[in-house]
């Protein structure tokens, strides 16, 4: 993961043509949503790189759609939070279902 963070920083530096330690502040919620949407369990376990990439793409589509619909940016954050809550709920229900079937 450290290598991916390094690659991301190089890409961000190329895009902005500058280096600022706080250039991506505020993206934590978006990153968390992409990871959780990609199937990584918040209670531990493993996620896959493919799942996270799929989560990033899906989240980008949702945010782009909200922008095209003219939804204010405040609601983008609300929708991102709702996506996190929904994903965690679905993961918890799935883990509970698997525990019942396995017992």
For residues 4 and 72, the model is more confident at: 72
41: phi then psi, degrees, rounded to nearest 5:
-80, 135
Where do the structural domains in the chain lie, given as residue ranges? 26-102
Residue 39 backbone class (left: φ over 0; alpha: ψ -120 to 50; beta: rest): left
Angle between helix axes 73-102 and 49-68 (nearest 10 degrees) is: 140
| 29-56 tens-digit pLDDT | 888 888 888 878 777 777 788 888 898 9
pLDDT at 7 (0 to 100): 84
End-to-end CA distance of the chain: 35
Q: Would you tell me how many other CB atoms lie within 10 Å of the CB of residue 34?
A: 25
Contacts of range 19-26, beta carbons closer than 8 Å, 24 or more positions apart: none
Residue pLDDT, tens place only, 43-98: 777 778 888 889 899 999 999 999 999 999 899 999 999 998 998 888 888 888 88
Phi/psi zone of residue 45: left (φ > 0), alpha (ψ -120 to 50 degrees), beta? left
pLDDT digits (tens, 9 = 90+) for 7-30: 887 888 888 888 777 777 778 888
Alpha carbon distance 89, 27 (integer Å) = 22
pLDDT of residue 4: 74
Tokens of 40: 């990584």
């Amino acid at each position: 993961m450290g290598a991916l963070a390094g690659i991301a920083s190089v890409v961000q530096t190329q895009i902005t043509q500058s280096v600022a330690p706080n250039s991506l502040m505020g993206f934590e919620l978006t990153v968390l949503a992409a990871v959780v949407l990609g199937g990584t369990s918040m209670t531990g376990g493993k996620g896959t790189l493919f799942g996270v990439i799929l989560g990033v793409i899906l989240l980008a589509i949702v945010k782009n759609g909200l922008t095209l619909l003219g939804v204010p940016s405040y609601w983008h954050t609300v929708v991102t939070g709702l996506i996190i809550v929904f994903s965690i709920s679905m993961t918890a229900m799935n883990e509970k279902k698997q525990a019942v079937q396995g017992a």
